[in-house]
C-alpha cells in the first residue's frame, strides 16, 4: 500500500512538473542572411526583392521619397496565463527610392527597440458634467405628446 501511494505521488508530481513547460510562439518572417546579402543598394529593384524575400509583413503608410517594406519576426514564450515575454525580435527594413530601386537596407533586433511610455491622461470634452440626479431626472418633461412634432 505504501509503494502504491509513493508511486501515485511521483506520478502526480511528474504530471505537475510537465505542465510547467513554456508555451513558445514563433511568428513572422524568418530572415535568411544569404537572401539579405543578395540585395544590393542601388541595384536591386522591388520585383527582385519580392522574389528573394516574399511579400513584406508591412508597407509604410506615409511615403515621402519612396516605399519602405518591413519584414518582421518575433519569438515569444509564456507560462500558462502569465504575460508573454519577447525572447527575440528581428525587423528588416528595405527602403526604396522613387525609381523603386533599393536605397537602404536596415536589420534591427530587439536591442535596437525603445520602450514607449504610455500617457494615461484623458482628453477633456466640451459641455458640462451632469450630476446623478440630473442624469436620472433630466429627460422628465421632454417627451412628445401624440400629435406634436409630426
**pTM (two decimals):** 0.63
Q: Which of 16-20, 40-44, 51-55, 90-94 is least confident?
A: 16-20
- Closest residue by Cα to residue 35 from 109, 105, 111, 112: 105
Instruction: Report pLDDT digits (tens) over 7-23.
Output: 887 877 766 666 678 88
- Give 98's contacts (C-beta < 8 A, 6+ positions apart): 65, 66
Give the model's confidence band at 74: pLDDT under 50 very low, under 70 low, under 90 confident, else very high. Answer: very high
Amino acid at each position: 500500500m505504501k509503494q502504491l501511494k509513493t508511486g501515485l505521488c511521483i506520478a502526480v508530481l511528474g504530471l505537475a512538473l510537465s505542465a510547467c513547460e513554456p508555451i513558445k510562439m514563433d511568428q513572422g518572417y524568418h530572415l535568411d542572411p544569404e537572401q539579405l546579402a543578395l540585395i544590393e543598394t542601388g541595384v536591386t529593384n522591388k520585383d527582385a526583392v519580392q522574389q528573394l524575400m516574399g511579400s513584406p509583413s508591412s508597407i509604410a503608410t506615409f511615403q515621402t521619397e519612396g516605399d519602405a517594406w518591413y519584414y518582421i519576426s518575433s519569438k515569444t514564450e509564456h507560462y500558462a496565463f502569465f504575460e508573454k515575454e519577447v525572447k527575440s525580435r528581428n525587423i528588416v527594413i528595405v527602403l526604396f527610392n522613387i525609381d523603386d530601386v533599393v536605397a537602404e537596407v536596415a536589420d534591427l533586433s530587439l536591442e535596437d527597440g525603445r520602450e514607449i511610455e504610455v500617457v494615461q491622461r484623458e482628453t477633456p470634452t466640451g459641455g458640462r458634467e451632469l450630476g446623478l440626479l440630473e442624469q436620472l431626472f433630466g429627460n422628465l418633461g421632454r417627451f412628445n405628446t401624440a400629435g406634436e412634432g409630426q
